């Protein structure tokens, strides 16, 4: 059996749409049971950082933490980074990077998302008109689904899209 990595993030999963505060949970261990979580926007700009206590050297423990961003992020995409600081030089060790989507950037207030299965003839604009009453709001849907849509003019029947609510 393979051993666990020192930090395992269970939530959020890659490309999840997150609220503010961001709720993070998982299992981990670190020197004296301490590691950190920080959030950056798509441009790498620092938004927040919190300490986490879980387990201890060689002992894994569950953790859960909320990270408040203090305001609306300036980009739709960002990253959640969990790591411990090196006791030698302070650099990050055991870095785990999770790509995330900021719900409050897409729609404020953000309450969650609906799932929509693309049908033949659909466009992001037609889906935006259906959900928001305004075809020009299609960028919300595009940004929420960048993990599967690379060109807003190309969606395909059968794709299941997240529509921010």
pLDDT digits (tens, 9 = 90+) for 40-71: 999 999 999 999 998 877 788 999 999 999 88
- Domain holding 74, by residue range, is 7-105
CATH number for the domain that contains residue 148: 3.10.350.10
Same domain, 146 and 98: no
How far, in Å, CA of 156 to CA of 149, rounded? 9
Q: How many helices (H) and strands (E) does the chain have?
A: 3, 10
Q: Which of 80, 105, 130 is the last residue of a domain?
A: 105
- Total structural domains within the chain: 2
62: Cβ–Cβ under 8 A, 6 or more apart, which residues?
25, 26, 27, 54
**Does some domain include residue 28?**
yes
Look at phi and psi of residue 94 and say left if phi exceeds 0, alpha if psi is from -120 to 50, else beta. Answer: left
Same domain, 12 and 32: yes
Out of 105, 126, 152, a domain closes at 105
Q: Which one-letter DSSP state was computed for residue 3? A: P
Return the CATH number at 89.
Answer: 2.60.40.2550
**Is 125 in the same domain as 146?**
yes
- Per residue of the chain (165 residues), what is the pLDDT tens digit? 467 788 999 999 999 999 999 999 999 887 777 889 999 999 999 999 999 998 877 788 999 999 999 889 999 999 999 998 888 888 888 999 999 999 999 999 999 999 999 999 999 999 999 999 999 999 999 999 999 999 999 999 999 999 999
């Amino acid at each position: 059996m393979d051993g666990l990595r020192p930090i395992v993030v269970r939530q959020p999963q890659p490309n999840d749409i997150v609220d503010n505060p961001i709720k993070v949970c998982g299992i981990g261990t670190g020197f004296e049971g301490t590691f950190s979580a920080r959030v950056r926007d798509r441009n790498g700009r620092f938004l927040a950082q919190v300490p986490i206590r879980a387990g201890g050297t060689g002992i894994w423990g569950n953790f859960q933490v909320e990270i408040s961003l203090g305001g609306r992020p300036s980009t739709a995409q960002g990253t959640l980074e969990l790591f411990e600081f090196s006791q030698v030089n302070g650099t990050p060790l055991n870095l785990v990077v999770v790509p995330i989507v900021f719900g409050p950037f897409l729609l404020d207030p953000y309450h969650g998302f609906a799932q929509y299965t693309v049908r033949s003839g659909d466009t992001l604009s037609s889906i935006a008109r259906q959900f928001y009453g305004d075809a020009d709001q299609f960028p919300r849907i595009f940004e929420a689904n960048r993990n599967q849509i690379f060109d807003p003019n190309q969606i395909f029947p059968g794709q299941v899209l997240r529509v921010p609510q």
